[in-house]
Amino acid sequence: MSYFTNVNPIQYEGIESNNPLAFKFYNPEEKIAGKPMKEWLRFSVAYWHTLTMDGSDPFGNPTMNRPWNEQYTGMDAAKARAEAGFELFETLGVPFFAFHDVDIAPEGSHLRETNKNIDEIVAIFREQMKSSGIGLLWNTANMFGHPRFMHGAATSSNADVYAYAAAKVKKGLEVAKELGSKNYVFWGGREGYETLLNTDMALELDNLARFYHMALDYAKEIGFEGQFLIEPKPKEPMKHQYDYDVASAYAFLQKYDLADHFKINIEANHATLAGHTFEHELHYARVNHILGSVDANQGDMLLGWDTDEFPTDIYMATLAMYEVLQNGGLAPGGLNFDAKVRRTSFEPIDLLYAHVVGMDTFAHGLRVAQQLIDDRVLESAVKERYHSYTGGIGLDIVNGKTDFHKLEAHALDANIINKSGHQERLRGVLNQYIHGGKSLR
């Protein structure tokens, strides 16, 4: 069966092209700051949204036209999905994909049977990965969908469920090792709570940390060397999620002696749900040396939930790629499109349109961000703003050479003169760069 082979591989045609199946900004081999664009961007397709999901929502039935899922059932559908997936990845020219265990194979009546189903698909992946050169950015265990996880997984009130969750992650790490995955992700869908009236938060947090330590031990035991990632999200499905944002995840990792072994997978729509900008979360992780990977999508500012839209906002992508460039890239992480086409974009071709615009948006952002860096636009503005720390009392502060006596002595005689932050001027310059203009200086 051929699902996408009737479409030619997507090519770079440049900004003048009118072809919706061509890149206007993403030119994989073109060098930006000494590295090919494809290495800065490290794009990945999310198996669940693109190949598995059917478009149903809490109000309505499936809408998606997905021949690979509809013409088969059970393991045959899983195999057809894998075939369609690799055709799509190759047509797009993405170097990576990502999946949950349940996306790739149906659950059996027992875990033993589920694992057997997974093994069958993993064997197909291994062959397809070998012949195509496409890699696995990350895999993860879905520990939120099945009713057994109603009270959580590694924070469940039920020890049997905790053990089941551990067994799923154990299998996930074996799969990660087998497929040479670059990372392993933990998103705690139900690791949180609804009400303190029935919750032992202290026990749940301790158990979660024990779970992560055991996962690290097992990875070491089997020789899996990929990066461990935590993906924060403040709410949905739980009212309170323990990994609310980058800062709360980092505090947890530090408290439980895990900070050297984990980095963060930052999702744009999760950042905005937490009341942060995407770039805030990236920056917070970067300056704490825990920026691991990105789930590239965007939310809708008018809706208070995780809409997981394909990223089209160049402003957001520019500021995000500014952080990625400052970080020296994301490897072994990447930009995974944890994004779904709208329910009304139900044709298979929409999956191509969506990924093309998502890839182009981040490629555009990369180009603009590199120009901002080349011209030291924001760097100069920040440097100027903090000038007072480069000499005198400011230099003593940053060198740790002062105390409250000396600071008081300075303050008692100081004539304080503040300088403007020029925020509006900087926003204007940013707009000019995004629209292709050069520096105002």
- Give the per-residue contact string, 39-78, with Co ion (x = CB under 5 A; - = no): ----------------------------------------
* 267 near Co ion, judged by CB under 5 A: yes
The answer to whether the CB of 235 falls within 8 A of the CB of 189 is no
According to CB under 6 A, which residues from 165 to 194 bind ligand XUL?
185, 187
* Length of the chain measured in residues: 441
What minimum distance in Å lies between the beta carbon of 241 and Co ion?
Answer: 13
The residue within the footprint of ligand XUL, chosen from 90, 101, 279, 306 (CB under 6 A), is 306
Nearer to ligand XUL, 232 or 365 (CB): 232
The residue within the footprint of ligand XUL, chosen from 103, 245, 295, 309 (CB under 6 A), is 295
* 90 near ligand XUL, judged by CB under 6 A: no
Nearer to Co ion, 297 or 361 (CB): 297
The answer to whether the CB of 94 falls within 8 A of the CB of 44 is yes
Partners of residue 44 on adjacent β-strands: 96, 336
- Give the per-residue contact string, 130-169, with ligand XUL (x = CB under 6 A; - = no): ----------x-----------------------------
Give Cα separations from 62 to 69, 287, 324 (angstroms).
Answer: 12, 43, 37
CA distance 191 to 205: 9
What minimum distance in Å lies between the beta carbon of 377 and Co ion?
Answer: 31
Give Cα separations from 169 to 13, 120, 176 (angstroms).
Answer: 43, 18, 10
Instruction: Please provide the distance, in angstroms rounded to a whole number, between the alpha carbons at the two ends of the chain.
Output: 57
CA distance 293 to 279: 13
Given the residues 49, 100, 283, 355, select the one marked as catalytic: 100
Give Cα separations from 353 to 21, 22, 91, 348, 358 (angstroms).
Answer: 6, 9, 12, 9, 9
What minimum distance in Å lies between the beta carbon of 320 and ligand XUL?
Answer: 16
What minimum distance in Å lies between the beta carbon of 303 and ligand XUL?
Answer: 14
Backbone angles phi, psi at 298, to 5 degrees: -150, 150
CA distance 360 to 77: 31
What minimum distance in Å lies between the beta carbon of 9 and Co ion?
Answer: 27
The answer to whether the CB of 291 falls within 8 A of the CB of 285 is yes
90 binds, among ligand XUL, Co ion, none (CB under 5 to 8 A by kind): none
233 binds, among ligand XUL, Co ion, none (CB under 5 to 8 A by kind): ligand XUL
Amino acid at 208: L
The residue within the footprint of ligand XUL, chosen from 87, 90, 103, 231 (CB under 6 A), is 231
Does 103 participate in catalysis according to the annotation?
yes
What minimum distance in Å lies between the beta carbon of 176 and ligand XUL?
Answer: 14
CA distance 316 to 271: 12
Number of neighbouring beta carbons within 10 Å of residue 13: 14
Nearer to ligand XUL, 90 or 306 (CB): 306
According to CB under 6 A, which residues from 319 to 378 bind ligand XUL?
338
Residue found by looking up tokens 């899922």 in the block: 69
323 binds, among ligand XUL, Co ion, none (CB under 5 to 8 A by kind): none
Does 257 participate in catalysis according to the annotation?
no
Nearer to ligand XUL, 140 or 370 (CB): 140
- Total residues at interface with ligand XUL (CB under 6 A): 10
User: Does 237 sit behind a cis peptide bond, omega within 30 degrees of 0 on the bond before it?
Assistant: yes
Given the residues 49, 101, 103, 364, select the one marked as catalytic: 103
Please report the beta strands in 303-387, taking only residues with DSSP state E, as ranges in sequence order. Answer: 335-337
Residue found by looking up tokens 């439980």 in the block: 256
Nearer to Co ion, 90 or 267 (CB): 267
Sign of the Cα pseudo-torsion (134, 220, 113, 140, in order): negative
The residue within the footprint of Co ion, chosen from 295, 306, 323, 360 (CB under 5 A), is 295
Residues in contact with ligand XUL by CB under 6 A are 100, 140, 185, 187, 231, 233, 267, 295, 306, 338
**Contact set with Co ion (CB under 5 A):** 267, 295, 338
Catalytic annotation, residues = 100, 103
